[in-house]
Amino acid sequence: MDIIKDLLFGFSVATTPVNLLYCFAGVLVGTLVGVLPGVGPPAALSLLLPVTFHVPPVSAVILLAGIMYGAMYGGSTTSILVNIPGEAASVVTCLDGYQMARKGRAGPALGISAFGSFIAGTVSVVLLILLAPTLAKFALRFGPPEYFSLMVLGLSILVYLARGSIINALLIVCLGLLLGTVGLDPMSGSPRFIYKITTLMDGIGLVQVVIGLFGISEVLLNVETTFKQEIFETKIKGLLPNREDWKRSIGPIGRGTIIGFFLGIVPGMSVVIPTFVSYVLEKKLSKYPEKFGTGVIEGVAGPESANNAASGGTLVPMLSLGIPTGAATALLLGALMIHGLRPGPLLIKDSPEVFWGVVASLYVGNVMLLVLNLPLIGLWVKILKVPYHYLFSLIVLFCIIGSYVTNNNPYDVVIMGLFGLIGYAMKKLNYEAAPLVLALVLGPMMENALRRSLVLSEGSIGVFFTRPISAFFLIAGLLILFSPLFLKKRRLREDLRSGGE
Amino acid sequence: MAWVKVYCSLFWLLFSVLTCLQASRLDMGETSAPGPGFYPLTIGVVMGILSLIVFCQAIQSKKPAEKTTSTERIRWWNIVVILAAVTLYTLSIGKIGFLINTFLLITLLLKVVQPQSWKTSILGGLITAVASELVFNVILRAQIPTGLLGF
């Protein structure tokens, strides 16, 4: 009964006119971000983060969370209509969604994607309500060793699933952890790697790093060659899926929702992997697996439900443990901290209006997206037709403004430009950026937990193995990291990533 | 031998050596009370080991260097222009101001990166500058410097 009371309280927070406005703005910007290739949710969150400084914390998080799950809706539109995934979580949707559009079934593809996302979003809110408070209570038993081991587990999963070599991903994680040490030492207050540059005193800003790595680097990559903008002209009619479509989609939607939510909870999985897993599963369960990739509705319904459910899932560890699972949740965590909130087991108790308000807003936002998105599909397609030379100029300008207004410091923009160049080089050399961002966020927390654990145990690293929860996380993390030595890792990893293309 | 991998591993090795050198200048503390240098030094050592593994893998690799499939010439000039424009914009924003700087930036990008006519570039720059001044400085009160115009 307490949960229902808390949820009603959450709805009373989320449905105030101001919060409804922020929720609406968030899902609208999120959808736009999902539609536009090259601007993913992390970059959009970074750009809008400074805007939320003058806003109450709960409204700020409602706005930013709206961008995160709104992008999942927007991404599917471009995947289906133009075969361009607006962001990584919609890559799989291209396989069958675009083929459906080519066969004149763009309407049902868009429809089932929106309804599937709505169902998944609704179920994930319920699961979030049931799971997050329980996990938060459990997490009160966590001490520094447990936190350290949990973060090692998260980074191990991310490294394992990263594109390309595991060692390269580990190097990137090390770079991220190292960047996290720049600034004042959190325990002694002595400066580290500052080199008399005052801008670095507070450390390297997450916003600047993310905008550089995801925003500027994408622009650089696109302008190095002639950008081809191909829009497949199709008439969209009959957005409501028919009885047969529903019959074939309801199973994939259910399975995608469960897979998405529970994989989304695992640190490092983020929203991309669940979509691939869902697609592979649907293909394996199908009576006609050979037809996947030619325009079957199950190939759209499953992954699209999975990515939306995963958005809800990623919020569980972020809100209840204070541990982000990917770049987008890392920024959300940053936003909570900027507003003076302490994400973690005590958030629900200390700031119930934020926790329950945000949870309720997820449902409100999902309703808004369902009502808004189908009628606005024509508008999104028109936006995609805006020539890239206008788009990239605006993206560059927004990147500059986003990094500048965080501290009104011009050198922050220089740092952003530098990370744009680093991100560009990383993309050229096939290094993934997400592990760097997560390591940068987790780095200071990990160092703190490691050093406090060593102080607690008087210098014995056995503390990580003698405490059962910590031992479980650490051994699981190490097993994942070293499993390629024992298993045929490439096949398993490629299966997960390629989704059986 | 995969030369790109060799160069990358050497870069990482150099980076890890520099990290270890810089970290060793900080207080290491003891294992029961680690100092500020302990954690970065540990990371530096791990990076060094990883880069050596990559180096060994690269020199033992019999796979020829991968050829890029794209025949299109890379336009380095565009990358240089964008990075230079971002730097100049930033360093001059305090003096010149948001409105003029934004106009110059957008006009330059439209004219140089994927060349448009002067009319399109100037018009694009003007509309973007005025619109962003309205959105960021007037509506969102982002307090970006007004510079020369001073309003």
Task: Label each residue of B18-73 as H, E or C.
Answer: HHHHHHHCCCCEECCEECCCHHHHHHHHHHHHHHHHHHHHHHHCCCCCCCCCCCCC
* Rounded mean pLDDT, B79-99: 90
Q: Give the predicted TM-score (pTM) of the model.
A: 0.80
Distance in Å, alpha carbon of B14 to nearest chain A alpha carbon: 13
pLDDT of residue A174: 95
* Rounded mean pLDDT, A81-108: 80
**Where residue B2 falls among pLDDT bands split at 50, 70, 90?**
confident
Neighbours of B75 (CB within 10 A): 15
Sheet strands (E) in A86-185? 183-184
pLDDT of residue A86: 66
Q: Considering only CA atoms, which of A45, A50, A57, A55 is closest in space to residue A409?
A: A50
Distance in Å, alpha carbon of A183 to nearest chain B alpha carbon: 11
**Where residue A500 falls among pLDDT bands split at 50, 70, 90?**
very low
Interface of B with A in 92-151 (CB under 8 A): 93-94, 102, 105-106, 109-110, 113-114, 116, 124, 128, 132, 136, 140-144
Considering chain A, what percentage of its residues have pLDDT values greater than 90?
24
Size of interface A-B (CB pairs under 8 A): 156
Phi/psi at B99 (5° precision)? -65, -55
Helix (H) or strand (E) holding A163: none
pLDDT over 50 (residue A501): no
Phi/psi at A325 (5° precision)? -105, -10
Q: For all residues of chain A together, what is the average pLDDT?
A: 84
Query: What ipTM goes with this model?
Result: 0.91
Which residue type occupies B25? R
Residue B133 DSSP class: I
Q: Considering only CA atoms, which of A68, A61, A4, A126 is closest in space to residue A369?
A: A68
**Where residue A193 falls among pLDDT bands split at 50, 70, 90?**
very high
CB contact under 8 A, B86 and A417: yes
Bridge partners of A192, per DSSP, are A183
Report the DSSP pairing between strands B33-34 and B29-30. antiparallel
Helix (H) or strand (E) holding A73: helix A57-82
Neighbours of A232 (CB within 10 A): 14
* Rounded mean pLDDT, A72-100: 79
For residue A416, the chain B residue with the least C-alpha distance is B86
Distance in Å, alpha carbon of B53 to nearest chain A alpha carbon: 8
B32 vs A187, A393, A458: nearest CB:
A458
CB contact under 8 A, B82 and A174: no
Q: Considering only CA atoms, which of B114, B133, B138 is closest in space to residue A391?
A: B114
Residue A288 burial class via C-beta count within 10 angstroms: exposed 0-12, middle 13-18, buried 19 and up = exposed
Distance in Å, alpha carbon of A456 to nearest chain B alpha carbon: 8
pLDDT of residue A92: 84
Which residue type occupies A103? K
* Rounded mean pLDDT, A327-346: 82
- On whether the CB atoms of residues A58 and A336 are closer than 8 A, the answer is no
Considering chain A, what percentage of its residues have pLDDT values greater than 70?
91
Helix (H) or strand (E) holding A192: strand A191-192
The per-residue pLDDT for range B29-39, each reduced to its tens digit, is 888 899 999 99
Q: Considering only CA atoms, which of A83, A78, A40 is closest in space to residue A219?
A: A40
A178 vs B19, B27, B110: nearest CB:
B19
pLDDT of residue A277: 85
The per-residue pLDDT for range A2-43, each reduced to its tens digit, is 778 888 898 999 999 999 999 999 998 888 887 776 667 777
pLDDT of residue A499: 44
- The Cα–Cα gap between A148 and A152 comes to 6
* Rounded mean pLDDT, B79-83: 91
For residue B40, the chain A residue with the least C-alpha distance is A178
The per-residue pLDDT for range A381-429, each reduced to its tens digit, is 777 777 877 888 888 888 888 888 777 888 899 999 999 999 999 988 8
> Would you state the structure tokens that stand for residue A394, as one six-digit string?
């605006």
DSSP, residue by residue, A208-235:
HHHIIIIIIHHHHHHHTSPPP-------
pLDDT of residue A39: 66
| Chain A residues inside the 8 Å CB shell of B55 | none
pLDDT of residue A149: 92
pLDDT of residue A181: 94
Report the DSSP pairing between strands A183-184 and A191-192. antiparallel
Residue B18 vs residues A220, A250, A360, B44, B50: alpha-carbon distances, Å: 29, 56, 49, 8, 15
Count of CA atoms in the C-beta half-sphere (13 A) of A3? 11
Buried b (16+ CB within 10 A) or exposed e, B23-52: beebeebeeeebbbbbbbbbbbebbbebbe
* Rounded mean pLDDT, B46-64: 87
pLDDT of residue A406: 74
B78 vs A224, A400, A421: nearest CB:
A224
pLDDT of residue A240: 78
Buried b (16+ CB within 10 A) or exposed e, A17-28: eebbebbbbbbb
pLDDT over 70 (residue A490): no
Q: Among B5, B82, B102, B120, pick the best mutation site for testing chain A contact (most A Cβ within 10 A).
A: B82
Residue A411 burial class via C-beta count within 10 angstroms: exposed 0-12, middle 13-18, buried 19 and up = middle
B128 vs A392, A397, A408: nearest CB:
A397
* Rounded mean pLDDT, B84-102: 90
* Rounded mean pLDDT, A110-137: 88
B33 vs A54, A404, A455: nearest CB:
A455
pLDDT of residue B104: 94
The per-residue pLDDT for range B122-143, each reduced to its tens digit, is 999 999 999 988 888 887 777 7
pLDDT over 90 (residue A205): no
- On whether the CB atoms of residues A337 and A343 are closer than 8 A, the answer is yes
- On whether the CB atoms of residues A62 and A43 are closer than 8 A, the answer is no
- The Cα–Cα gap between A76 and A87 comes to 9
Least reliable range by pLDDT among A296-305, A338-347, A485-494, B56-65: A485-494
B35 vs A171, A188, A224: nearest CB:
A188
Task: Assess B17–A contact: CB distance below 8 Å, yes or no.
Answer: no
Distance in Å, alpha carbon of A493 to nearest chain B alpha carbon: 20
